[in-house]
Structure 1
Amino acid sequence: MTSLRERDETSSVRQSVWRGSLPLRIELDKADCRTYDESDPYLIHFERLSYLGLLIPRLHAFFADRLIFPDINPTEAWLSFERVPLKWHYPLGLLYDLYSGTEPAGPVHTEGGEDDVTDTTPLQWKLTVHFSEYPKELVKLDADGKILHDLYINSVKEADYLRNGNGRTVMSLSEKDSTQLWDGVRQHDSQLFQPINQKLLNPSGVTLRHLPVKLYLPHASSTSSSAIQEDNEAAPGSLRVVQALITPSASNRQPQTIGTALNQILPELFPSRRQPLLAQAVLHGSTLPLTVSVEELVRAVAYLDGWLHVAVVMMA
């Protein structure tokens, strides 16, 4: 049975992850700027857990008087990092871990103490907003935010299905609860989000079947895993997305750790279950100790859609 101290420590880590943000410097693409000189950048600290699509109305309003075509629809906007289009359904923290090239922080644990999750990113991440030449690999958002909402809800449903073997938990949410969940995401309001999220993570009388984990690898990573899904291989910055059925317990009936799961799914990159030798698993900007329980991570520090989105970073 989980002790009061353990619950308090998990809650503390969850709050630390919730408060994590990244300083962004968003510049208007010169091809869309009507002035000869570059326009002033849009500066913001934006939540790691949130989605860049929620920034589009503010970015359009900020840059409108600098655009070649000021009446252009905000739905034409898209964001990139070094010309790599950033996918709307990837949380900001995942995008940063995948593309920024910043060295991840030290280990993250779900217990309290020196290795808690902390925001250790002082440098601005420079992104570019475009209002033309919309990439074919990106879903186009709508003015009312319904598409971004649907992308999020579909991911929530997929995670719920993996955890419980069916999607009844999320499908049984009332309309009020569903609205509150999305409002919590849009407003980044923990008091709105967490009560509904806990209903999804801890449904009464339901046995946890599988753990929702996705692994993201650069194409340079050498692996022959059958679980790999190609994510637009021809595009710059394309990834290999790995998703496999991960049970709460390993084959020896011990709790499934990140190390045992990675050793099973990607043995070429993680030949050891306890020590990273060729690659590191990065979550929320920090490296994961391979001995940490996957179930504890899912319950404590999953992204807002219920998934552990883990970046696999090759070691020097």
Structure 2
Amino acid sequence: MPAPSSRLADLQRKIWNGSIPLEVRLAASDCRTYDESEPYLVQPPRLSYLAFLLPQLHAFFKPSLIDPQVQPHEAWLSFEGVPLKWHYPFGLLYDLFSGAEPVDFDKQRNEDPATSQATVETASGTTPLPWRLTAHFTEYPGDQLIQLDADGRALLDSYINAVKEADFIRNGNARTVMSLSKGDSDNLWRAVQTYDLNLFNSVNSKLLNPPGMELRHVPLKIYLPTSASQTASETITEEAKQAGHIRVVQSLVPLHLPSRQPQTLGTALNSILPSIFPSRRNPLLAQPVLHGVVVPLGAHLNDLGRTASYLDGFLHVAVVMLG
């Protein structure tokens, strides 16, 4: 049964308000002082992108840089030596690399109140907050990251291409996004830059409700760490075993099953990754994580796609192995 629209709107607002505190330190190789510089503390939204932080980081660390002439777009961020892909949403990066235990509300309901409250208070998991990242301004890892540019075109192009891909998956073509007026297209990107929910919804609602059309599929990307790929009995190359390797799995996922029953996250994962999700109802070997929370396998994909997608229109689901 579809969730009421008011409940879905409330869920979207909660997801939109999600954020993660960061502590960013300057890489020693870029610091002109013997002692490390002061850290930059910030709490960006989960749905946004780390690339938007680069101008502030550059301004903050400029007095400490060996080369103060370096430009903001030349910066990059890493976690424990792993370069972080700037075109991935920030919350997805945290779910993939921080090692924090995702929040499991079903598990909390089965705990006694005292234990449950302790779980809520430590919902950030095993990794203490703030999440500690390192800012670099030299030695750009061009073999792992696409270079940004001073005008921000690379970030804009990456985002727009993802939005077009999501629209193509939903409808079988990209006519809906391509038919947006210039004003709507500009407002969509402005909403992402300024993080404006009302402005975002004014455009996104047109993508989710194309006139005279019924959505066919849900844009879904599944992120498998090396351990999950090994569980799937796949051959892992030496290159794939490098730190931070994540395999991305995509498949066309209809909104309804052949029986016309609603597609759930469990039925979709069982179809795409049966060795990791052998059950459609219970997470036996792994859990699907979205926005830092374990998603019930019975959740309807249509509801998730309309309320829990990232700003590019995709459900970016991280797989966390159990045991």
Question: TM-score, length-normalised on structure 2?
Answer: 0.89
The correspondence for 1:78, drawn from 71, 76, 82, is 76
**Which SS does the other structure have where 2:255 is aligned?**
coil
Aligned to 2:24: 26
Letter in 2 for 1:219: T
Question: CA offsets per residue over residues 259-293 of structure 1, 9 Å max, x none?
Answer: 10111111111111100010000000000100110
CA distance in structure 1 between the partners assigned to 2:144 and 2:84 by the alignment? 10
1:152-171 mapped onto 2 (5 Å cutoff): 152-171=159-178
Cα separation, 1, equivalents of 2:184 and 2:233? 39
Is residue 259 of structure 1 aligned with residue 266 of structure 2? Answer: yes
The offset of 1:209, in angstroms, is: 1.4
Contact 1:225 1:266 in 2 (8 A): no
1:105, 1:293 → 2: CA distance?
A: 19
Superposition RMSD in Å = 2.2
How far the C-alpha of 1:251 sits from its partner, in A, is 3.2
1:223 Cα shift? 5.1
Residues 48-197 of structure 1 aligned to structure 2 (within 5 Å): 48-107=46-105, 120-121=123-124, 123-135=129-141, 136-197=143-204
* Structure-2 separation of matches of 1:235 and 1:276: 27
- Worse overlay, 198-207 or 278-287: 198-207
**3-state SS in 2 of match to 1:152:** helix
Between the aligned partners of 1:60 and 1:246, the Cα distance in structure 2 is 42
AA paired with 2:208?
A: L
Give the counterpart of 1:241 among 237, 241, 248. Answer: 248
Shift of 1:36: 0.5
Runs of 4+ in 1 over 3 A off after TM superposition: 118-122, 223-226
Partner Cα distance (2:198, 2:217) in 1: 27
Superposition deviation, residue 155 in structure 1: 0.3
Secondary structure at the counterpart of residue 44 of structure 2: strand
Cα distance, 1:225–1:298 mapped onto 2, change above 3 Å: farther
Distance 2:241 2:98 in 1: 20
Offset of residue 233 of structure 1:
2.2
The 2-side partners of 1:229 and 1:243 are apart by 18
Q: Please, which runs of 5 or more residues in structure 1 have no aligned partner? A: 109-117
Whole-angstrom distance in 1 between the partners of 2:98 and 2:189: 28
* Cα contact 1:107–1:289 (8 A) shared by 2: no
| Aligned position for 1:112 | none
Matching residue within 205, 218, 222 for 1:211: 218
Instruction: State the TM-score, normalizing by the size of structure 1.
Output: 0.91
- Structure 2: where are the runs of 5+ without partners? 107-119
